[in-house]
Amino acid sequence: MALDWTMLDARHQPIPLRDETTIMSIDRDSQVEFSLTIPDAPPSGTAVTGGNGGVKKMKERGRLWLTNQRLIFTTPKEGKTKPSFESLSVPLDAVLSTKFEQPYFGSNYLVLDLRPSPGGGLTDGTNVEIRFYDRGLFEFVSFLEKTRERALYMKRQTAMEDDENLPAYTSSSSAPGASNSYPDTPPGYVA
């Protein structure tokens, strides 16, 4: 997961990765709110603790894309003020958990706990709250969960195939004429 790493085209929409397909998009400006909480953030003027590090909270409204590989959020290109972040790209396998919140007062929202990418500008414990302003959240949550499960399944399948394609291990002691200078079992090992 990385902040401001999404490659955007001239229309300020994400450029798809190889073999990436869009599942769902909300591409009208300001219809989705992302509230990003980054614990143990490096010092900056926008941190809650006054710039000495600590918890950093950022909130933006913009557009959302769900693809078969990632969740992408972008802020509008035009604006009077510079947004706290322009884009957030979250690989689906970096979503550690999801929680659907239904408060007594206010709109429903989704909380995602995320695993940050190395060098992506985020830290462990980062989470994001997603709120919709023009539609219900249930449909999106359903699509996200199904797509995430599929992405994790495919990643596991690829890992298993890679393990099956490893070369067979052969011991140098089993080669004809090779001397066995190592014991068969480690010292102190009881079989």
Taking only the tens of pLDDT, the chain with its 191 residues reads 667 778 988 888 899 999 999 999 987 767 899 999 999 765 554 444 444 567 889 999 999 999 999 999 999 877 668 888 899 999 999 999 999 998 999 889 999 999 988 888 888 899 999 999 888 888 999 999 999 999 999 888 888 776 676 666 666 555 555 555 555 666 666 65
CB 68 within 8 A of CB 147: yes
Q: Domains in the chain and their CATH numbers?
A: 2-159 (2.30.29.30)
Q: How far apart are CA 130 and CA 32, in angstroms?
A: 7
SS3 142: helix
CB 120 within 8 A of CB 6: no
| Six token digits for residue 160 | 């298993």
Q: How far apart are CA 9 and CA 39, in angstroms?
A: 31
DSSP assigned state of 190: -
pLDDT given at position 45: 47
Q: How far apart are CA 10 and CA 65, in angstroms?
A: 16
Total residue count of the chain as it appears in this document: 191
| Six token digits for residue 106 | 């206010």
pLDDT given at position 35: 94
Tokens 């480690």, residue located = 186
